[in-house]
């Protein structure tokens, strides 16, 4: 896991450089965390780019790359489902250093991130999921 985290920034930058050749407009960089099925304690990150903002999901980090300014902005970090549930169940004892992560989890649960995704994709908000 330490090795994966060491290369995280380099992999994000590599994904951006490859995407600059592919897109003439702004794009999104997504880092997905997957636990290997056959190897118990092995976690891998997969990096991809998209022209549309992805729907928020567990084990996902999403950035928006603005080509004009050469800026990479973090949109959200959503950890595993278990971590989300654990933090929400123990909200009163979450360490202050984890408040930013907790905020993303709350926004994921209350569908704020889903609404942001729709806005960024110029979609309407009339989805049944968002009517809750």
Q: Return d(Cα 94, Cα 82) in angstroms, integer.
A: 15
- Per-residue pLDDT at 36: 77
- Per-residue pLDDT at 68: 92
How many residues are present in the chain? 132
30-80, pLDDT tens digit by residue? 999 988 777 777 778 899 999 999 999 999 999 999 999 999 999 999 999
CA distances from 91 to 85, 102, 105 (A): 10, 8, 11
- Per-residue pLDDT at 54: 96
Strand spans (E) along 15-127: 27-35, 43-50, 60-66, 71-78
Closest CA to 102 of 125, 84, 118: 84
12-31, pLDDT tens digit by residue? 999 999 999 999 999 999 99
- Per-residue pLDDT at 129: 60
81-121, pLDDT tens digit by residue? 999 999 999 999 999 999 999 999 999 999 999 999 999 99
- State which residues form the domain around 90: 2-131
- Per-residue pLDDT at 1: 47
Domain count, the chain: 1
Q: What is the CB neighbour count within 10 angstroms for residue 127?
A: 12
């Amino acid at each position: 896991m330490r090795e994966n985290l060491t290369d995280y920034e380099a992999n994000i930058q590599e994904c951006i450089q490859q995407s600059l050749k592919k897109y003439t407009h702004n794009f999104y960089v997504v880092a997905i965390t997957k636990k290997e099925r056959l190897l118990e304690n092995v976690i891998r990150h997969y990096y991809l780019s998209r022209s549309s903002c992805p729907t928020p999901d567990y084990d996902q980090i999403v950035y928006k790359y603005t080509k004009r300014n050469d800026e990479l902005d973090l949109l959200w970090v959503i950890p595993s489902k278990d971590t989300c549930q654990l933090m929400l169940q123990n909200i009163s004892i979450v360490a202050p250093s984890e408040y930013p992560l907790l905020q993303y989890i709350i926004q994921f649960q209350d569908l704020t991130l889903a609404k942001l995704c729709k806005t960024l994709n110029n979609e309407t908000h009339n989805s049944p999921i968002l009517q809750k």
